[in-house]
Amino acid sequence: MNQKKTGAFLKQLRKEKNLTQEQLAEKFFVAGRTVSRWETGSNMPDLSILVELADFYQVDIREIIDGERKSETMNMETKETLKKVAEYTSAENQNLRNKMADMMAGSAVLLVFCLILFVTKAFGGAIAENGYRNIMIFTMGLTLTTLVCNILYLFGLFERVSTFFRKK
């Protein structure tokens, strides 16, 4: 796939509709810079947006990817399959965001708990020294572990690590 050629084709299609980059960006809820990047070939639209662009311009997705018009039209079955793939991708991305939000919320709760313990101790709290130390060590360890898991999950390393341990 030639991204420059695809970008030039997207620009041609936009101009055929007499739209500015900003107007197109508003229609697809993206930034004007994003449209510019598509048209220069430095970046490509997500699959879900690619399906919408093909519908909007009334062209085949393959035409956009190839960067030129074809005589054949996309059959409805292929179009529906691509829409389902795009919806699945969007759902997976939302699921990932939800998991990350849950993990971050857990880390925040643990951090607040540590702060409460720290403030309680600073003002002569009722927790004995040994008990306080053990609770703080446990809570800080749990917080650190949660943050490491967030980082592993964020960068996709969590899957690799879990796959590694499943193999053994």
Q: Is the pLDDT of residue 71 over 80?
A: no
Between CA 33 and CA 21 the distance in angstroms is: 8
Q: Is the pLDDT of residue 8 over 60?
A: yes
User: Taking the mean position of all CA atoms in its chain, how far away is CA 77?
Assistant: 27
DSSP string, 69-80: --SS---HHHHH
Q: Enumerate residues 6+ apart whose C-beta is below 8 A from 140.
A: 114
pTM score, two decimals?
0.48
**CATH 1.10.260.40 is the classification of domain 3-66:** yes
Is 89 within 8 Å of 46 (Cβ atoms)?
yes
More confident residue, 48 or 7: 7
pLDDT tens-digit readout, 13-63 = 999 999 999 999 999 888 889 999 999 988 888 888 888 898 899 888 888
Angle at 64 between CA 59 and CA 69, to 5 degrees: 60
Between CA 15 and CA 12 the distance in angstroms is: 5
Q: Is the pLDDT of residue 143 over 90?
A: no
Between CA 152 and CA 150 the distance in angstroms is: 6
pLDDT of res. 35: 92
Between CA 59 and CA 67 the distance in angstroms is: 11
Q: What is the mean pLDDT of residues 98-104?
A: 79
